[in-house]
Every structure is written in C-alpha cells, then in structure tokens.
Amino acid sequence: MSDIWPLIPAAIYLLFFFMLVMIALVTLSVTEGDLFPTFEPLQAILKNTEFYDALINTLIFVIIGTPLELIAGLFAALLVYNSFWGKTFIRSVFVIPFAFPGLVIATLLFILFDSQGGFANHLLQGQYSFFPKVIDHDVAWRGNKFLALSVSMLGKVWRDMPISMLIILSGLNSIEPELIDAAKTMGAGFRARLTKIILPLVFPAMTTVLLLRSVEMWKEFIFPYILAGNYPLLGTLIEKLYGFGSEPGEAAVVALILVGLTVLTLILIVEITGRIKRELVNSGVNS
C-alpha cells in the first residue's frame, strides 16, 4: 500500500480536473436557460433526427475506422520489421503523416478532393498520363454522405496510422529473434511463423491499438469538421449545437452520451480480446 503514496499528487491532479469537467458537463446537461434542473435538453436531443444520424455515422466511423487503423498499422509495422535494409528510413517515411497537425492534413485533403476541379477529380478524369480516365464529370466529394465520410475516415486513418504502427512495431521488436529461429528449425514457413508465432505475440500490442484508436474514432472532430460539414458525427454535432445552435445544454447531453459510448466500447474490447487471448493460449490438440 505504501507504494502508492508517491502517486497521490498525480492522482489528485487528474481526478480533480476530470471531476471538474464532468461536474460542469452534467450540470450543463440539465440546464435550459434559467431552468435547473431539467430534462429538456435530453428530451430535445432524443427528438432530434440529426442526433440519430450523427450517432449512426459515428458508429460506422468506429466500426470501420478502428480495425482499418489496426490493419494499416500492422501492415506498416510488418513491412518495417521484415525489411532487410533501410529500416530506419522506411520507418521515418511511415511516420511523416503524424508530423503534421490534423488540421493541415484535413485542409490538404479538402483541397485535393475539391468538388469543382481539384486533384482527385482531375486524376479520375484522366488528366494525368499515368492514370486512366474513370469519370466524365466532377464528383462532389463533400455533397455525398458516403464520399464525404469515406474521405474524412481515410484521412483520419492515414494521419494516425503511425501511432498504431509504432505500438505494434515495439511489440514486434520485443519478440525474441530466437523464437522465430526455433520456429524455422521446426519447419515453419513464413506464413506459419506469422500466424502462429508473430501475431499471437503482438496480440497485446494490437489490443492496445484497438483501445486507443476506438476512443480516437468516437471523439473524432477535425477531419469530418473540415471534410464532411453537412454530415455530422457526434463530435461535430456537439460543436454545432454549442456554437452555431446556441444550445449548450443539448451539446452537453451529446457529450455525456459520447463519454458513455466510449467507455462501453472499451469494456467490450477488453472483454473480446481477453477471450481471444485465452483461445490462443489453449488452442491446439485436445486441450
């Protein structure tokens, strides 16, 4: 017990600010003008179709974006891990997206995927010799819910992939090289080594990636804000309600729901990955 005393100041600091924000948020969510306490903001949100839209959009964002980041990170990490030469160089190249603020990347994508002209449209219209002509007319990248959300999700995944990659890479690097050698001497080819040794051993790192990235996906703001202005996610909806709509109470309700969903997702991931891990340890002949 005495070991935790040095941690107390940090704990108080964290708890204090967390509590402060949460209390303010809860208070705000039951305030409507001069009325306090009231469920009016909650009722308004539950009647708001835009909220349900945003909820579904965000859910799709989380369900597709989180595994996508895991897979992108895993592939990049495996590429760096298995590369014979220039390991440091390849790793640096992969880390570049993370060197820019999300706002910059989002703005870049905004320019590339402009609905009138823009690089993406020009490319698909066959204006560059290295790419075949695919479409005749400009695509309205931001005028279509599917395209707008896809572009913002890809932007998000591309920008944040380095974090996933670095986490998985450190997991890969902590695997004893002799384990791989042992697998080789026992007849395991590349595929067997990957699926039976490497992936199970980086599983904890992959779990970390899923946990961190799912939180990021739930609370994503900047990419959809810039690239999918007409199709809100929960993150952008909060801003919209608070700033543009002048409904701080409703914004607070959405924020609380977002917190709740995030926590729920984390619990779910811990539960599922725990089960998979037990499966991995016990799989095999009759055990």
Write out the residues near another protein by the rule CB under 8 A: 176, 178-179, 181-189, 192, 196-197, 200-201, 203, 280-287
Rounded to whole angstroms, what are the CA distances from 14 to 11, 256, 264? 5, 19, 21
CB of 181 to another protein, least distance (A): 5
d(CA 77, CA 154): 18
User: Which runs of consecutive H residues, i.e. helices, occur in 30-101?
Assistant: 40-47, 49-82, 87-99
For another protein, the closer of residues 87 and 184 by Cβ is: 184
Please list the residues that pair with 35 across neighbouring strands: 32
Closest distance to another protein from the beta carbon of 203 (Å): 8
Q: What is the 3-state secondary structure (H, E, C) of 214-275?
A: HHHHHCCCHHHHHHCCCCCCHHHHHHHHHHHCCCHHHHHHHHHHHHHHHHHHHHHHHHHHHH
Q: Which is nearer to another protein, 86 or 101 (CB)?
A: 86
Q: Which is nearer to another protein, 30 or 180 (CB)?
A: 180
Phi and psi angles of residue 35, each rounded to the nearest 5 degrees, phi first: -75, 130
Smallest gap from Cβ 82 to another protein, in A, equals 15
* Closer of 267 and 272 to another protein (Cβ): 272
- Give the shortest CB-84-to-another protein separation in angstroms: 12
Tell the smallest beta-carbon distance from residue 286 to another protein (Å): 8
Residues whose CB falls within 8 Å of the CB of residue 164, separated by 6 or more in sequence, listed in order: 69, 70, 72, 73, 74, 76, 77, 209, 213
Nearer to another protein, 116 or 286 (CB): 286
